[in-house]
Amino acid sequence: MQRLDLAAIAPTPWKNGGGATRELACWPPGAGLERFGWRVSVADVAAPGPFSCYPGVDRQILLWQGEGMHLRAADGSVDRVLDRATAPFAFAGEVAIDCTLQGGPVRDLNLMLRRGQWRGVLRVLHDACTPGESPAGLCLVLAGQWERAGEAYAPGQGLWWSAPRPGAPLRPVPGGLDAPALAWVVLAPEN
């Protein structure tokens, strides 16, 4: 079980050079953009433009902050507006997608899965959960305050794991100004 803090992760350039991202975790560690089995990252999108192309990778994206973005594919296979009320959106990484912003910069959370190697799902939870129940995974506080075994977690902080080791639950702290929200990624190898 590894603790993570977005504020402590340095940004790196996007694969297409059009922006920057922060890698929260990938498997295997240090695999790079061409060899990862799975990868979870946060991107700050300040301007419209194309998404990086990832052939053979299935992607899921969740808008975290900002008013929204509109994703379109030139071939018509994708035409989707993402806002904070929208569930995570899944698409194939080889699809050429262009993004326009709906009113200013946005921050999003991305799950990438190498097709045929890993399967997984990105969801948003509002109640207690137990990190480590799945073969691999990640949880990241999106809003509110959370706690696990006496440790506090604020937005941008969380945990990731690469082997099943359930332990203490992660719970929202009652009484905060923001409704609790947690990005929850469950991962398993393809067999």
> Can you tell me the mean pLDDT for 167-173?
96
- Give the residue extent of every domain in the chain: 2-116, 119-189
pLDDT above 80 for 175: yes
To the nearest whole number, what is the mean pLDDT of the chain? 93
Q: Class of 119-189 per CATH?
A: mainly beta
Single-letter code of the amino acid located at 45: V
Which CATH code of 2.30.110.10, 2.40.170.20, 2.60.120.10, 3.10.50.40 fits the domain covering 2-116? Answer: 2.60.120.10
The pLDDT assigned to 182 comes to 97
The pLDDT tens digits of the residues spanning 56-100 come to 999 999 999 999 999 999 899 999 999 987 899 999 999 999 999
